Amino acid sequence: MYRKIIFICFITVLSLFSKELITPIPLNPDFNYKKALLGKKLFFDKKLSHDNTISCASCHFIEDGGDDNLPVSFGIDGKTGTRNSPTVLNARYNATQFWDGSAKNLADQAKGPIHNPVEMGSNFEEVILKLKKEKDYVNEFSLLYKNGISGLNITDAIAEFEKTLTTPNSRFDKFLRGYTKALTQDEFNGYKAFKEYGCISCHNGINIGGNLLQKIGVLEYYSTDDFGRFNITKDSNDKFYFKVPSLRNIELTAPYFHDGQTKTLKDAVEKMIKHQIGYLLEDKEVENIIKFLKTLTGDTPKIIKDTNEKINN
């Protein structure tokens, strides 16, 4: 109960202080270029997995929504996990990482898949040994980090690369910046419905999500074997709490929800209405909300390039 009160207060305070609960993605995100270049190399390097078959990019397609379009991902030896791969695009703007919010930032998150037996199935010791055999890595790390190749430095560089993966300039962001013609009437009505029916009470902020943990099945039970946040805290109040996902680029990241069991955006929106909102919406309103959600697709991130082919100049 106290959680609900805190949550309502939070939203009220938020709406008092800002005209819009959603803010646009900055056009020029800050990041350390050289570290990001090293991070890019690591992100695409299969040596981060035990049998050299899987890289971060195997489950996060940067140029196609930042996820892998599968219900659940395949790791080494064809092993499968239990959760849907969320997007890495704009992940820098999430308050926490993972469906259960169990990683506090991107560097902390990147440890996870390297060690996860059904993902990359490796560990820092093994990865460091492999990277130390490569002159380029040894040089690059020692130029950027005092103590050269280490677990923390590997994840720091990867996080820096992920900071480059933003998708500015969606039509909705243009609208927020004052270009009212960026949305059609239907899309605008969809945004209005999104606010009026309270979708925005959970999906808000720069990522239109990513800043809260909330229960799936507030109004009607959602059937899942995954207890979400409870698995981390063992607090029964946390059962079925998941990170409210970002809705940016949502048309590109099917299937949906932590279990990846919902194939279309229409089904996802209808489930949200049923489980989280509890109103009966007209078909046209649902259609408009979907049209609005499709205006949240921004520019595909340009994968940074090293124009001099070297990190050390």
Question: Which residues of this protein are in contact with ligand HEC, per CB under 6 A?
Answer: 43, 48, 54, 56, 58-60, 73, 75, 81, 83, 85-86, 88, 91, 94, 97-99, 106, 109-110, 113-114, 119-120, 158, 197-199, 201-203, 214, 216, 218, 242-245, 247, 250, 253, 256-258, 268-269, 272-273, 276-277, 289
126 is annotated as an active-site residue: no
Report DSSP letters for 66-125, one per residue: TS-SSSS-B-GGG-B-SSPPPP-TTGGG-SSBSTT--BSSHHHHHHHHHH-TTTT---HH
The distance of closest approach from Cβ of residue 215 to ligand HEC in the complex, given in angstroms and rounded to an integer, is: 7
- If the CB atoms of residues 36 and 268 are measured against ligand HEC, the closer one turns out to be 268
* Closest distance to ligand HEC from the beta carbon of 99 (Å): 4
26 vs 117 by CB, closer to ligand HEC: 117
Q: From the CB of 20, what's the least distance to ligand HEC, in Å?
A: 17
3-state SS, residue 284: helix
From 20, 63, 119, 287, active-site residue: 119
Q: CA 188, CA 195: separation in Å to the nearest integer? A: 11
Q: How many whole angstroms separate alpha carbon 198 and alpha carbon 42?
A: 40
Nearest to ligand HEC of 263, 310 (CB atom): 263
Determine the Cα–Cα distance for residues 146 and 143; give it in Å rounded to an integer.
7
On whether the CB atoms of residues 248 and 207 are closer than 8 A, the answer is: yes
Q: Is the dihedral of CA 134, 139, 140, 142 positive or negative?
A: positive
Q: Return the SS3 of 141.
A: helix
For ligand HEC, the closer of residues 243 and 294 by Cβ is: 243
Nearest distance in Å: CB 6, ligand HEC: 13
List active site positions: 119
